[in-house]
Structure 1
């Protein structure tokens, strides 16, 4: 397997659609990484808010940013494939417009690609933050072996933490554009079938935001109910109680009942990010 030598070594891919509320934090977290040998490809997918102007302002002062705009809304999958074709780095890193990468994320991940055997996919643990940026809990994940073994049944690989070899992701055909969501799960399954080596870094290298869109909350009550559920699914049951005063009576009852259910039962229906 060839050594990684290109400059920029890392190509960061981020698709943006109406993310103005969180976008600056995401951009800042990438720009100020301790590891700096990267290009930053950003596609605005027909935003109707201030996202394009925010991206443009950053692109004008940082020549590592390559800014693209879709004439029609294409969705995440096609936007990622378009950027994947344009990327020049040996490594492809994902980032979402509402998350926060820890400052040493790229440093830690690039180091993993310098170890033998060289992996194909490197991902990390996360901590969950709410729509205001406040800590919810640290995500729970099984062991690396269990994560890989269970691909195809459930996915414990958080997409915005992933860094992968460009050769490996392109060799698998990139993202399947028939998927509007879940395109990452499908990709990992195909890469696994191709014999890809997955490496899990248990360190928290990204703050994963649960915003109302990502949890499909239709009201404030629904949002905090979902946040409470995420705490339980991620084995931080006591933290779920912190949101009881924001829930309806029926939602409180459900949370209290779920606190009594063993985690191995809940995890088959829950979610981990």
Structure 2
């Protein structure tokens, strides 16, 4: 069955080639790559067009104005016709066996979503840390911390329907919460993807990210204040713990 891969693109001419190549090199070949250009002003569109000429499974969609990352993803999701939907950003890459391993895991477990471990790297490609995936992630698990990195997630849209992203901070986390209301996600512990951490990335703005997380719990999921606070404490603890482990790993390299 076909996998629709959702890729938002904005002024990413320096990195998008590697991301596209990691899709082309998948061992599972029944896919379409829907790249929505979000009004780029560099050579991003030219690079995508060149890949299109080589592979008809690559589709270029264009927003007529800058809609942001959620808007670009939503354009691609709208036109996706695969049985499964997966996500990849233009500065990240997949291992060649990613789709094959996750489709098999979903089939074997009878679940309709999957995630995997991944490696966090800086802009030079140097390894910062390896994140090992939890074997099964439930809705309750996801309330306590973000257990699914968007670049590793895939879900069965034939069974669950399509999930569009809201234009809010941590839009992917909020989307995966809605998915996990309908299904658990089966995890592949080993790393199947590479996530690039840059100085300008959302993940580096810790206080802003924390506020977004609480807003989702309180305003989007609409938990009572005491429950939102309870789950936010888990998030805060896990975030600090993860960064401390990463710093210790770098010290003792």
What TM-score range do you get, normalising by the shorter chain? 0.7 to 0.9
C-alpha displacement of 1:152: 2.5
Q: Which residue of 1 aligns with 2:129?
A: 137
TM-score w.r.t. length of structure 1:
0.73
Residue 204 (structure 1) aligned with residue 197 (structure 2): no
- Contact 1:175/1:183 (CA < 8 Å) preserved in 2? no
Task: Kindly provide the CA deviation profile for residues 28-68 of structure 1, in whole angstroms up to 9, marking residues without a partner as x.
Answer: 11111111111111111011222111111111111110111
| Structure 1 segments (4+ residues) deviating >4 Å | 145-148, 215-218, 229-232
Count of aligned pairs between the two proteins: 220
Residue 175 (structure 1) aligned with residue 158 (structure 2): no
Q: Which residue of 1 aligns with 2:3?
A: 10
Q: Which residue of 2 aligns with 1:268?
A: none
Indicate the SS of the match to 1:21.
coil
- Contact 1:15/1:79 (CA < 8 Å) preserved in 2? yes
C-alpha displacement of 1:197: 2.4
Task: Kindly provide the CA deviation profile for residues 66-98 of structure 1, in whole angstroms up to 9, marking residues without a partner as x.
Answer: 111111011122222222121111111111100
Residues 130 and 176 of structure 1: is their aligned pair in 2 closer, same or farther, counting only changes over 3 Å? closer
5+ residue gaps, structure 2, are 206-238
Q: Which residue of 1 aligns with 2:142?
A: 151
5+ residue gaps, structure 1, are 1-5, 219-228, 244-273
Larger Cα-atom Rg: 1
Task: Kindly provide the CA deviation profile for residues 204-260 of structure 1, in whole angstroms up to 9, marking residues without a partner as x.
Answer: 000111122215769xxxxxxxxxx999527344333379xxxxxxxxxxxxxxxxx
TM-score w.r.t. length of structure 2:
0.78
Equivalences for residues 1-273 of structure 1 within 5 A: 6=1, 9-117=2-110, 119-140=111-132, 143-145=134-136, 148-170=139-161, 174-177=163-166, 179-193=167-181, 195-215=182-202, 233=243, 235-241=245-251
- Contact 2:26/2:99 (CA < 8 Å) preserved in 1? yes
Q: Distance in 1 between matches of 2:29 and 2:40?
A: 28
C-alpha displacement of 1:11: 0.9
